[in-house]
Structure 1
Amino acid sequence: MSDWEAAVKGAAGRADDGESISRLLRAWRARVDARTVPELRYVHPRPGRRLSQQHVARMTGVSEGWYRALEAGRRHDFSEGFLLRVAAALRLSEDETLTLFLAVTGRRPPRPAETCGDLPQGVRALLEQQVTYPAYLSDGAWNIVAANTLMGEWFPWVLRPRPNLMRWALLHPEAREQMLDWEDSCARVYLAMLRVAANSNPTDAALRVLVSEILEADADCRRIWAEEFDVVEHRDGHVFRLRLPYHDHAEVRVTSHVLLPIQRMDLRFVFITPVDGPADAAG
């Protein structure tokens, strides 16, 4: 029986261990052949087949006791950087790294900065093949990452350089003309969303800049921000009234549907559909 099989069998025999991260970490560590780890090549004495807790601690730049506390499940204040180093040392897959982060921190691991060109093909195809209603993808700071053809026809501002939903809706004069009942139906909702985002991601520089820019640029937004304490996470299901050139300035009632693509959960996938039936979607 191999060391890997023995570790799995031994861990499975502890009924009180369940599917804990401790059990998984031990199994993942036993799976790695220490002789294949470049960082341990010049360690004396030369390591054998078994990758020890001491080895992992050395590879991740912490004390053996610090790593042992992680594997024992005794602490939950480990940094993202340390957990990413553990994932690399144990050669964890994307799903295994996700499991480690969720078990230890309750959060998903950080994603590297990605661009529009990095959109998964399935997500891009779903967006481009949506020809009935406007749809777009935005990031955590409401920058428009991609939009379908109909979104560009309804809202030509998404075709401008570096389009941002919040900047257009809260600062651009045409938004106050096209979004009816602008203050109550638009500004208050969007500012409440910004308040949630700013408190959820206090270290996000893009969000800080966005909030500061909006409050500095517009007196109405400053007043609403100071007066209101509402918080809104998203506008899924929110109904609002539009008067767009695309519809010859006739009033249209629409609702937004906010989805999270499983392959890019850092993005919002938003559809805009008419409340009163498909007839309103026609130009």
Structure 2
Amino acid sequence: MEQSNPTRLQELAQFLRTRRARLSPEQAGLPNEGRRRTPGLRRGEVAQLAGVSVDWYTWLEQARDIQVSAQVLNSIASALRLDTDERKHLFMLALQQLPAEPIAADTAVSMTLQTFLDLQGTSPAYVYDQRLNIVAWNRAASLIYGDYEGMSMRERNSVWRTFLSPYVRQLLQENWEHHARHRLAQFRACYAQAVGDPWWTDLIGELNRESPEFRAWWPRHDVLNGPEGKKINHHPAAGLLVFEQISFRATDASHLTVTINIPSDEETTAKVRKLLQRM
């Protein structure tokens, strides 16, 4: 914790006290020892559930400036039965950072989100998960970036596709290396949440075997998040297409990221519209 912000420490202490006060022993899986003078759990019970000392937890509720790790915060969040939003709030107060999100198994998108993609019209739009798998898309994206419907899940992984698909190299041409390095840096940032996971290990191994560029760049440990900005594509039927890219998290599924490539000029808009009408 930073030593210079007592207001934040007081806010953290008050938050912990209110969460403790609302939780009964029965809710926490503890025996009910009869009526209590004050509602909620005792500090010692929270400490026991979280696997920390009573003194240490007491100092936290007293707004003392002590060191706290993400692992301990997760234990406290579990002990106090915090929901997702409360857990994020706890991490922001204690560490000024959000907790690492677990890799979600469910990659299905809602009908509302799919409708949103479809309504983008001449703006190719897609959704990817924490593994950078493309899990939803609109028709413009499929016509420009490839027939996602006909691809396997591995082929729809944007890192695999970037490094091993000849079509992507043709589409990006002189901009391929910039795109590939950016996508790899995104992949490295996501990998931090799943180091040692067999799915990631298998994909990294395959890319190391099949792509000399991946093999050369992976050891650099470059890390990056965020959209690429301007995207220049060379489509085999439409020709030169120029887009401005924007990305954001889906509010109804925070493990999914929505990317929209907006035509940067009228010529690109007209070319995409013609593709949609013709194909």
2:257 — aligned with what? 268
SS of residue in 1 equivalent to 2:173 = coil
Q: Structure 2 residue aligned with 1:243, among 235, 244, 252?
A: 235
1:96 — aligned with what? 86
Instruction: Supply the RMSD in Å over aligned alpha carbons.
Output: 3.3
AA paired with 2:179?
A: C
- Alpha-carbon distance, 1:274 to partner: 2.3
Asked if 1:140 corresponds to 2:133, the answer is: no
1:39 — aligned with what? 29
Asked if 1:58 corresponds to 2:48, the answer is: yes
Q: Is the CA contact 1:135–1:271 (under 8 Å) kept in the aligned structure 2? A: yes
SS of residue in 2 equivalent to 1:27 = helix
Find the aligned partners of 1:238 and 1:150 in 2 and give their Cα distance: 17
Find the aligned partners of 1:69 and 1:105 in 2 and give their Cα distance: 16
- Alpha-carbon distance, 1:171 to partner: 0.7
SS of residue in 2 equivalent to 1:136 = strand
- Alpha-carbon distance, 1:99 to partner: 0.8
Asked if 1:173 corresponds to 2:163, the answer is: no
Aligned sequence identity (%)? 23
Range with greater deviation from structure 2 (47-56 or 134-143): 47-56
Distance 1:28 1:120, change over 3 A: farther
Higher relative contact order (CA 8 A, sep 6+): 2
Deviation string 1:118-144 (CA, Å, 9 cap, x unpaired) is x45543442243333211111232111
2:243 — aligned with what? 254
Structure 1: state its 5+ residue gaps. Answer: 1-14
Distance 1:19 1:148, change over 3 A: farther
SS of residue in 2 equivalent to 1:145 = strand
SS of residue in 2 equivalent to 1:181 = helix
TM-score between both structures, scaled by the size of structure 1: 0.75
Find the aligned partners of 2:182 and 2:89 in 1 and give their Cα distance: 34
1:187 — aligned with what? 180
Q: Structure 2 residue aligned with 1:113, among 101, 104, 119?
A: 104
Q: Is the CA contact 2:232–2:240 (under 8 Å) kept in the aligned structure 1? A: no
Deviation string 1:26-76 (CA, Å, 9 cap, x unpaired) is 122223344x44633265xx4625321012123334332343243334434
Deviation string 1:191-249 (CA, Å, 9 cap, x unpaired) is 34445555x547263555444432321124434567x88764333313222224xxx25
Find the aligned partners of 2:227 and 2:117 in 1 and give their Cα distance: 19
- The structure having more radius of gyration, on CA atoms, is 1
2:3 — aligned with what? none
Distance 1:61 1:156, change over 3 A: same
- Alpha-carbon distance, 1:269 to partner: 0.8
TM-score between both structures, scaled by the size of structure 2: 0.75
AA paired with 1:98?
A: K
Q: Is the CA contact 1:40–1:47 (under 8 Å) kept in the aligned structure 2? A: no
1:216 — aligned with what? 209
Q: Is the CA contact 2:182–2:228 (under 8 Å) kept in the aligned structure 1? A: no
- Alpha-carbon distance, 1:19 to partner: 5.5
- Alpha-carbon distance, 1:184 to partner: 3.5
Range with greater deviation from structure 2 (66-75 or 200-209): 200-209
- Alpha-carbon distance, 1:164 to partner: 0.7
Distance 1:115 1:202, change over 3 A: closer
AA paired with 1:173?
A: P
Asked if 1:22 corresponds to 2:13, the answer is: yes
SS of residue in 2 equivalent to 1:260 = strand
Find the aligned partners of 1:219 and 1:128 in 2 and give their Cα distance: 37
AA paired with 1:255?
A: E
Q: Is the CA contact 2:189–2:223 (under 8 Å) kept in the aligned structure 1? A: yes
Distance 1:235 1:64, change over 3 A: same
